[in-house]
Chain A
Amino acid sequence: MAEKLLNWDEVLIGGAIKDPGNSKQYETGSWRVERPVWNQDTCIQCMFCWVYCPDSSIKVDENGKMTGIDYTFCKGCGICVEQCPTKPKSLKMILEAESKGKTEEELRKEVFSSEK
């Protein structure tokens, strides 16, 4: 979803935006340093993470169930982890660099294996 960059004499006066919702074009996940990893085995579907996430990056299915993280927009603030009430937590932060080349399932096993 690459945005078209306009020249100075093409931009809308006063920085006004006429296409509502275009913040979707700005991928806040692109500069994430840490990322949350979700463990569905301990998750109780309380939806606290969904309520608190400032970037609407908690994915929810049509039944209202949490299904994971939208890493395109998750900026890695860690608020969801703070809010998660389960013991042990069903969300954990890891360094983005350590997630490189691994699937979500691989990461989940790696991060949560010690708690099994």
Chain B
Amino acid sequence: MGKKVALTGNEAAAHAIRQINPDVIAAFPITPSTPIPQTVAQFIADGEMDTELVTVESEHSAMSACIGAAAAGGRVMTATSANGYALMWEMLYIASGMRLPIVMAVVARALSSPLNIHGDHSDIMGGRDTGWIQLISENSQEAYDNIIQAVKIAENKNVMTPALVAQDGFNTSHTIEIWELEDDQKVKEFIGEYEPLYPMLNTDEPVTHGAWAPPNWYFEHKISQLKGLLDSKDVVEKVGKEFGETFGRHYGLYEAYKLDDAEYVIVAAGSVCGTTKDIIDGLREDGVKAGLLKIRLFRPFPYEELAETLQSAKAIAVLDRVSPAGAQGGPLFTEIRSALYDTQSRTPVINYTYGLGGRDTQPKHINSVFETLKRIVETGKVEKQFDCLNLRGEWR
């Protein structure tokens, strides 16, 4: 049986890693994810795990060592944040291209400059096209549950693609919440044994990893890789269901919160969803049909399913915790709008950037979003397609 514990999001990730007990972890400390490898190192020192912990000199080296260990045939994990994730960039593509099912806990944080160590989604959104599966967690429980599921998803024979599990820096990583820690043995049984496809350490069947592919081969390999990533969608759903049957907490591709008949809808990912749900509960009591579409799987992006759930909406606000950086809107916004283009719905969709560099997003800010959505439905007019939440000075 699982037990209720009061621990931080980082500790939730560390406990998941302890129970998974991977063959190798290579990691380099960076705020706010440092407590993950730190706690894991303590578990190893205390004899609770027998993972080989490789302490490296940078995140580029961390991911490189993970790639080497995974190519050798090991079950491999790591953790990072922000600039550390950015330093891994080159190697992230190599891990996914080599189809190594590494699982990484990312504590999402702002990228410098200006230097800032607090939460936002600049890191994971910047890496959205690195070919990794991306699962985003709302809270500690989800961070824990998602890491366990990510192992099973990434290692599926049809997938064989690395996966990252994000939680929000500080909002989740350093906040003590009550969540359910499952039984060690039960987690072990759930993830099962890992069978690598072409382990380098199998000297009976020599294999080359990371070779070059000239123009007459590269394209085919990249499209084969894409198929593995896309196939992970069904596996995410299947593993989410199995997880629910085993541990009682069910997961799908997304979470629909009071969405069935919702007219005013927020689409968001991460810890802001908790605040949004509270506001929706209040609005529902007043008879306002408000709802939330919480993004869980961001890569591969389940655009058909998400568009389907948004069909009842009369106005939609997409919250991006990252600057649009010159695009029409944030990454979540452009994906959602694009997904809706193929459907009957011509619902107005607006976009907010919020929470950059740890900026607080409070109930009143979420309330203001719903107010704006109501005004759009009443007047039929969108005054601002893009705006900022809790920014000093009006965006224009």
Contacts and interface: CB of A to CB of B under 8 A. Distances in A.
A97 interface: no
Contact of B210 (A6, A11, A13, A15): A15
Indicate the size class of the contact surface on chain B: 20 to 34
A5 interface: yes
Interface in A5-29: 5-18, 20, 26
Contact of B216 (A5, A14, A17, A18): A5
Main secondary structure of the interface of B (DSSP, over half): loop
Given A16-B198, A17-B211, A11 B217 contact: yes
Contacts of A7: 220
Contacts of A12: 198
Interface in A63-88: none
B383 to A, nearest CB: 47
Nearest to A14: B99
A15 B205 contact: no
**Interface centre among B205, B217, B219, by most A CB within 10 Å?**
B217
A95 B206 CA distance: 40
A9 B198 contact: no
A10 B97 CA distance: 16
A14 B97 contact: yes
Contacts of A20: 206-208
B214 interface: yes
Contacts of B228: 13
Interface string A25-38: 01000000000000
A15 B213 CA distance: 8
B227 interface: yes
A17 B220 contact: no
Contacts of B219: 8
Interface string B220-257: 11011101100000000000000000000000000000
B209 interface: yes
Contacts of A15: 97-98, 209-211, 213, 217, 221
Given A5-B216, A17-B211, A26-B214, A11 B197 contact: no
21 contacts: A7-B220, A8-B224, A9-B227, A10-B220, A11-B217, A11-B221, A12-B198, A13-B160, A13-B198, A14-B98, A14-B100, A14-B197, A14-B225, A15-B97, A15-B213, A16-B198, A17-B211, A18-B198, A18-B205, A20-B206, A20-B207
